[in-house]
Amino acid sequence: MRTGGRPGRVKAARLIAGSAVVALAATGCAGEQVTGELQTVGDVAGLPVTHFESGLKDDAPKPDVQADGATDVIEDRLALASIADVTDYWDEQMPEHFGEKFARVDKLMSYDPEDEAQDVCGTSTRDMALNAFYCPKDDLVAWDRGVLLPLLRNKFGNMAISAVLAHEFGHAVQTRLGDKAGIDDGTGTIVKEQQADCVTGSYMRWIAEDESTYFELSTSDGVNEVLGALFLIRDAPGAHANERGAHGSGFDRTYAVQLGFEEGAKRCAEIDQDEVDERITEVPFKNETDQAQQGQAPITGGTMVHVQRSLDSAFSATGVDPPQIVEGDGTCEQGRSTPPVSYCEQDNEVNIDLATLEKIGQPADQVGELTGDKSPDAGLGDFAVFSEVASRYVQGIQLGVGAPTEGGQAGLRTACLVGAWAKFANNPDSGSTLYLSPGDLDEAIAELLQPRSLLAADILGHRVANGFARIEALRNGYLDGSSVCTETYT
């Protein structure tokens, strides 16, 4: 995010030495502590919220699938089961929705980029670390079992591997559908990527509905794993959606997965350039200063003045006495506290622990996150902090208008209102002195997926259990504005 006025003068925030651990526990707090219980709200796109370990079923058959180079490591076994399973899925869906039989993918290949180099799709496997891909000219799906798959599995769980292979099969399906998916030689990469993410979502729903022979997927943690894995392999901030190789921002990717989960494979094939132009959020940096600072504003009292002003004008139409952002230890003297940011009802204040927030607000290390070698100073980015502060500010607004402030719907309404504020701040006509820079929405989603996040929490700090609903609420507010928040989350 950027502050306006003197854009050239905004300096990158100071790095704090030795801040490897972000301290989140409050110290010396007089008020009541709230740890934030998870709560279940409604359903996940019409499916009940379920809790169990996702992955291969105990009675899953041995997949009848061969891949060049496949070994007996768990990652390859999961990959082969995923391929057998997603093939079952398309055997069913292709005739049903597109009136044709699903022709088997011709070649499958597992490789370890650290082994002796082999040629794959015209490139050496040594240059294909952290990759899984579909090669149209050979009708080949290949995956890096040495680095990428173990990394995803360790970080997100077994379903992350299924998600990646389902995405690559999405490209194989799209090549087969051609016209029926609006695909020709001129189709932009971002359209193909959005379709592939979308059918990954529709396949995941099929598993969640217990149609799969091989896998089971819970609609809470299981779906969160899938969203988390695809979110991690988002494009870097400032990439342009229409550049070659663009996958979309994390915000765009999670949108496509959720669209497929909600509406199915046929809807995915309808994604075209017009639709993408209308809703895609991935934008290049506006200027060189932005680029140099990666769009990061420092987390200081001065920046918080801009946050305060921006929030005040975004919610001025409610007529509610605006909560004041004050520096302190992030807790309230009386009543409930949710450090490092608390809404204190008795004073109508948002009390912030600026030192802790400064650590969270350090730029993210996306490459390090992917390789497992994250910089100790890395945080989640400035907008992660501003959105947390906004999430507590809107408690005061919701109280002021007499909306219920406790429970799951209040938690989702909170995320929705933060999204609505982000949209407001991003409108050049709003007069806001803060505006979004590339990557900001992803910082909000990264923050939203953190277990401790208050972004989708009610006034008590109780969070909503499923990431699907949290992300959807933020996006609803961002795309449709604050009135949708009050109408939807009641």
Binding site for Zn ion (CB under 5 A): 193, 196
- Least distance from C-beta 173 to Zn ion, angstroms? 12
- Least distance from C-beta 283 to Zn ion, angstroms? 20
- Least distance from C-beta 209 to Zn ion, angstroms? 25
Q: Which is nearer to Zn ion, 49 or 135 (CB)?
A: 135
132-135 and 107-111 strand pairing: unpaired
- Least distance from C-beta 164 to Zn ion, angstroms? 9
- Least distance from C-beta 65 to Zn ion, angstroms? 21
Q: What phi and psi, each to the nearest 5 degrees, are found at residue 341?
A: -135, 125
- Least distance from C-beta 193 to Zn ion, angstroms? 5
Q: Which is nearer to Zn ion, 273 or 450 (CB)?
A: 273
- Least distance from C-beta 270 to Zn ion, angstroms? 18
Mapping DSSP onto H, E and C, the string for the chain reads CEECCCHHHCCCCCCCCCCCCCCCCCCCCCCEECCCCEECCCEECCEECCCCCCEECCCCCCCCCCCECCCCCHHHHHHHHHHHHHHHHHHHHHHHHHCCCCCCCCEEEEECCCCCCCEECCEEHHHCCCCEEEEHHHCEEEEECCCHHHHHHHHHCCHHHHHHHHHHHHHHHHHHHHHHHCCCCCCCHHHHHHHHHHHHHHHHHHHHCCCCCCEECCCCHHHHHHHHHHHHCCCCCCCCCCCCCCCCCHHHHHHHHHHHHHHCHHHHCCCCHHHHHHHCCCCCCCCHHHHHCCCCCCCCHHHHHHHHHHHHHHCHHHCCCCCEEEECCCCCCCCEECCCEEEECCCCEEEECHHHHHHHCCCCCHHHHHHCCCCCCCCCCHHHHHHHHHHHHHHHHHHHCCCCCCCHHHHHHHHHHHHHHHHHHHCCCCCCCEECCCCHHHHHHHHHCCCCCCCCECCCCCEECCHHHHHHHHHHHHHHCHHHHHHHCC
Residue type for position 228:
G
Q: Which is nearer to Zn ion, 193 or 382 (CB)?
A: 193
Q: Which is nearer to Zn ion, 196 or 350 (CB)?
A: 196
Categorise residue 255: left if φ over 0, alpha if ψ from -120 to 50, beta otherwise: alpha
Q: Which is nearer to Zn ion, 34 or 140 (CB)?
A: 140
Q: Which is nearer to Zn ion, 2 or 171 (CB)?
A: 171
Q: Which is nearer to Zn ion, 149 or 385 (CB)?
A: 149
Q: Which is nearer to Zn ion, 269 or 415 (CB)?
A: 269
- Least distance from C-beta 170 to Zn ion, angstroms? 7
Per the CB < 8 A criterion, the answer to whether 260 and 223 are in contact is no
- Least distance from C-beta 168 to Zn ion, angstroms? 7
- Least distance from C-beta 196 to Zn ion, angstroms? 5
